């Protein structure tokens, strides 16, 4: 029976655990470790999984998933490296952490796969990009794709793209929430009650995303279908162009990519 250890049982760690259980994993296949003991009590009660100290969880697993903050990785990685058995697969969901840095703390030849997930995984609509380390095989990538598919979609990319992935899909939900927030506030400014404005904006965002995903049409085509010559949408889009909103988004994502690079090198 495959054994999985999840080191770091915060929001994303629990998201993966609950997704795997819904996908058919048995609770006894999963062990969680976290430095906060009350958190482990919560997970045991909520999901029926096992919990253990980091070293013990790693030692008993075929796959170790590390889901800690980058600043905590320097403490956690050596503990995992000292505990794992030969051939154990190490999967990192730590933002900005290169496979090379992780491999340096593991026994020689340890397969490492790097993952950049995002928060919509909490509702099984996540977007994860995965990259192989030096010793990871196509079979390892296929296995990790299967794990992450429990909470959304998965793409395989060369690791050199991970900083760009972080800027687009990793941080992307925050950009969309920012736009939603602005649209809701605009509705209130235009006289709508906040609850009605919220319903209008959230459903419009949800429906537009579903239309984009299901139709297969380019977003430009869909935008043009809403934009009548000389109409209300055209007037609004002209204001967005005048304020260089598209350029601002591009600059913002470049900043996110650069910050990801800086974190990786620190």
Q: pLDDT tens-digit profile of 99-129?
A: 999 999 999 999 999 999 999 999 999 999 9
For the stretch 56-90, pLDDT in tens is: 999 999 999 999 988 889 899 999 999 999 999 99
SS3 category, 97: coil
Look at the domain 4-157 and name its fold: Rossmann fold (3.40.50)
Strands 50-51 and 30-33: parallel
Look at the domain 172-265 and name its fold: ProC C-terminal domain-like fold (1.10.3730)
Q: Where are the alpha helices (DSSP H) in the chain?
A: 11-22, 37-47, 54-59, 70-83, 99-103, 138-148, 162-165, 172-189, 194-215, 219-226, 232-242, 245-265
Chain centroid to CA 258 = 18
SS3 category, 38: helix
Domain boundaries, the chain: 4-157, 172-265
CA of 191: how far to CAs of 78, 180, 187, 199, 237, in Å? 57, 17, 6, 15, 21
**pLDDT of the residue at 261:** 87
The percentage of residues in the chain with a pLDDT greater than 70, rounded to a whole number, is 100
How far is 2 from 13, CA to CA, in rounded Å?
18
């Amino acid at each position: 029976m495959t054994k999985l250890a999840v080191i770091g049982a915060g929001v994303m760690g629990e998201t993966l655990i609950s997704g795997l259980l819904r996908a058919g994993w048995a609770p006894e296949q999963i062990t969680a470790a976290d430095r906060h003991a009350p958190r482990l009590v919560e997970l045991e009660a909520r999901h029926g999984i096992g919990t253990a100290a980091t070293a013990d969880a790693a030692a008993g697993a075929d796959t170790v998933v590390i889901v800690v903050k980058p600043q905590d990785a320097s403490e956690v990685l050596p503990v995992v490296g000292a505990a794992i058995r030969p051939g154990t697969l190490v999967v990192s969901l730590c933002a900005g952490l290169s496979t090379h840095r992780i491999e340096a703390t593991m026994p020689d030849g340890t397969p490492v796969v790097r993952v950049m997930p995002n928060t919509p995984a909490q509702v099984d609509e996540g977007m994860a990009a995965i990259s192989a380390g030096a010793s990871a095989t196509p079979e390892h990538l296929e296995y990790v794709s299967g794990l992450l598919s429990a909470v959304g979609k998965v793409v395989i990319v060369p690791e050199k793209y991970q900083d760009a992935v972080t800027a687009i899909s990793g941080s992307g939900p925050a950009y969309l929430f920012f736009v939603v927030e602005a649209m809701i506030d605009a509705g209130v400014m235009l006289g709508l009650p906040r609850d009605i404005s919220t319903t209008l904006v959230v459903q419009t965002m949800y429906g537009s995303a579903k239309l984009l995903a299901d139709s297969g049409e380019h977003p430009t085509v869909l935008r043009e279908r809403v934009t009548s010559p000389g109409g209300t949408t055209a007037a609004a889009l002209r204001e967005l162009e005048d304020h260089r909103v598209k350029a601002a988004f591009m600059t913002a994502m470049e900043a996110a990519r650069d910050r990801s690079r800086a974190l990786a090198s620190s």
